[in-house]
């Protein structure tokens, strides 16, 4: 693999656009788009659409309705949740090689957060909400495509972008769209931030979110205590049992995140909700923890309670199988041509890459900017990484077009694993 003159022209195009890549990411980050802030999400969506119309005028672009989901309130009531639209952008769906590029335009920062704008730190890093995770990544994604679309031979590669509004809350609305794209594509590129030194996430654990509704019987805590059935006490006993699953199987963790319910101190609580997350390294572990949870909630801890378990495994594990390994090695080789050392290591975190892999798509999911401290008010991105990472993705696209990275071959290798 080497950089051809046609590739170099693409790389130079990225460099020429460098200041604009940073400026637009800053503008987007200054618009609050917390996952539950629908008006803010719609403002960012409109800004993204305007940018795509200007920089990728030949692409097909559409807002796509996301699926509804069911959530559980702290009162134990279930309700239907709706989400903002996803944005789908595509080019040459008939091409022999199909690339899926994904990202999310929501952030973890709610409307009332004090962390609302981007500033430049004394060391030159950009500090702002979503600048790394992942409005900077979206800017990198679009820059790579804009540059690639100037290359002769681009006709060999078709691509589809999906920008979702709900990744930070587990992709409940966009999961079906990700599954559909994963099944159709050959290679996936996702734009979560890399670590500050450029290291990528390799194998990822799977994740599940569960909500256990515990219903008891209310009674006066003084006059008729024995007539009541305390849902909060039952929830606490079950939570202790869930916590006790930690350490029983290698790599499996159970985090009891919240117990909600109850009310006045003189009333036996008749409702509670236990919320917990599990992380698993492989499919067998997912089956094990699901069975163990089922065993714990099969019978209430004492008479008079009823239990209803909501939720489940939301993202499957993403191991370093043969297809993943081959793709990472190809990206490492592309990085070497650019003077960018590429390394990777396992991560306990999850993202859209898990969804795509479960649908059969080999993918790299940390192709965004170099940054860190995400999900905190210290979130940052290094400005120089915008051009670096856009060049890396642009070169990957170039090598998929020439066949030096074998997209269909990688997909076939992944499908062999699924058989």
Same domain, 39 and 168: yes
Instruction: Answer whether 202's CB lies under 8 Å from 346's CB.
Output: yes
**Domain holding 386: CATH number?**
3.40.630.10
**Which residue range forms the structural domain that includes residue 399?**
5-205+317-418
State the CB neighbour count (10 A cutoff) for residue 262.
19
Domain count within the chain: 2
- List, in sequence order, every residue forming a beta bridge with 30; answer none if it has no partner: none
pLDDT over 90 at 8, yes or no: yes
Q: Are residues 49 and 138 in the same domain?
A: yes
Task: Assign residue 298 the CATH number of its domain.
Answer: 3.30.70.360
Same domain, 344 and 394: yes
3-class secondary structure, 313: strand
User: Of the residues 290, 315, 340, which one is the last residue of a structural domain?
Assistant: 315
Q: What is the pLDDT of residue 66?
A: 98
Of the chain, the percentage scoring pLDDT greater than 90 comes to: 98
Question: Where does 153-268 show beta strands of DSSP type E?
Answer: 157-164, 187-190, 200-204, 206-215, 219-220, 253-261, 267-268
Quote the pLDDT of residue 418.
80
For residues 43 and 171, state if they share a domain. Answer: yes
46 and 149 assigned to the same domain: yes
From CA 134, how far away is CA 114, in angstroms rounded? Answer: 19
Q: Are residues 326 and 230 located together in one domain of the fold?
A: no
Same domain, 301 and 345: no
Q: What percent of the chain has pLDDT over 70?
A: 100
Asked if 97 and 154 count as a contact pair (C-beta separation under 8 A), the reply is no
207-265: pLDDT as tens digits:
999 999 999 999 999 999 999 999 999 999 999 999 999 999 999 999 999 999 999 99
Q: With 90 as the cut, is the pLDDT of residue 419 above it?
A: no
Asked whether residue 257 falls in the same domain as residue 223, the answer is yes
The mean per-residue pLDDT over the stretch 148-172 comes to 97
Return the higher-pLDDT residue of 10 and 416.
10
Q: CB neighbours (10 Å) of residue 268?
A: 22
Q: What's the rounded Cα separation, in Å, for the pair 67 and 85?
A: 9
Element (H, E) at 91: strand 86-91
Quick one: 309 and 324 in the same domain? no
pLDDT at 417: 83
Are 346 and 310 in a shared domain? no
Question: Which of 260, 294, 315 marks a domain boundary?
Answer: 315
Q: What are the C-alpha distances in Å from 256 to residues 11, 128, 234, 245, 410?
A: 47, 30, 14, 11, 38
Q: Of 315, 343, 360, which residue is a domain's last? A: 315
Whether residues 305 and 379 share a domain: the answer is no
């Amino acid at each position: 693999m080497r950089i051809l003159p046609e590739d170099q022209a693409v790389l130079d195009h990225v460099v020429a656009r460098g200041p604009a890549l940073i400026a637009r990411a800053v503008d987007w980050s200054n618009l609050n788009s917390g996952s539950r802030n629908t008006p803010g999400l719609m403002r960012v969506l409109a800004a993204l659409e305007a940018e795509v119309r200007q920089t990728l005028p030949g692409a097909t672009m559409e807002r796509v309705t996301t699926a509804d989901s069911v959530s559980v309130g702290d009162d134990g009531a279930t309700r239907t949740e709706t989400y903002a639209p996803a944005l789908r952008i595509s080019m040459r769906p008939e091409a022999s090689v199909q690339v899926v590029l994904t990202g999310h335009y929501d952030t973890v920062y709610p409307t009332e957060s004090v962390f609302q704008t981007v500033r430049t730190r004394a060391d030159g890093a950009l500090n702002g909400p979503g600048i790394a995770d992942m409005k900077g990544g979206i800017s990198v994604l679009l820059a790579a495509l804009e540059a690639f679309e100037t290359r002769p031979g681009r006709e060999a590669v078709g691509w589809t972008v999906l920008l979702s509004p709900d990744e930070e809350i587990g992709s409940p609305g966009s999961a079906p769209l990700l599954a559909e794209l994963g099944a159709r594509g050959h290679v996936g590129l996702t734009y979560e931030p890399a670590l500050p030194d450029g290291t990528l996430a390799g194998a990822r654990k799977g994740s599940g979110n569960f909500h256990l509704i515990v219903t008891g019987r209310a009674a006066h805590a003084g006059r008729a205590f024995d007539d009541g059935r305390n849902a909060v006490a039952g929830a606490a006993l079950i939570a202790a049992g869930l916590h006790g699953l930690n350490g029983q199987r290698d790599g499996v963790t159970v985090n009891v995140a919240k117990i909600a319910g109850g009310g006045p101190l003189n009333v036996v609580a008749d409702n509670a909700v236990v919320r917990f997350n599990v992380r698993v390294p492989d499919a067998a572990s997912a089956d094990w923890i699901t069975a163990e949870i089922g065993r714990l909630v099969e019978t209430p801890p004492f008479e008079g309670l009823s239990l209803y378990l909501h939720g489940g495994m939301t993202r499957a594990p993403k191991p370093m199988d043969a297809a993943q390994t081959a793709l990472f090695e190809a990206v490492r080789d592309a990085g070497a041509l650019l003077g960018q050392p590429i390394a990777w290591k396992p991560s306990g975190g999850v993202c859209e890459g898990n969804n795509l892999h479960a649908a059969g798509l080999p993918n790299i999911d940390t192709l965004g900017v170099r940054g860190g401290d995400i999900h905190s008010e210290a979130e940052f991105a290094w400005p120089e990484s915008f051009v670096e990472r856009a060049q890396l993705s642009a070169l990957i696209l170039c090598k998929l077009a020439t066949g030096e990275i074998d997209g269909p071959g990688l997909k076939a290798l992944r499908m062999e694993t699924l058989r």
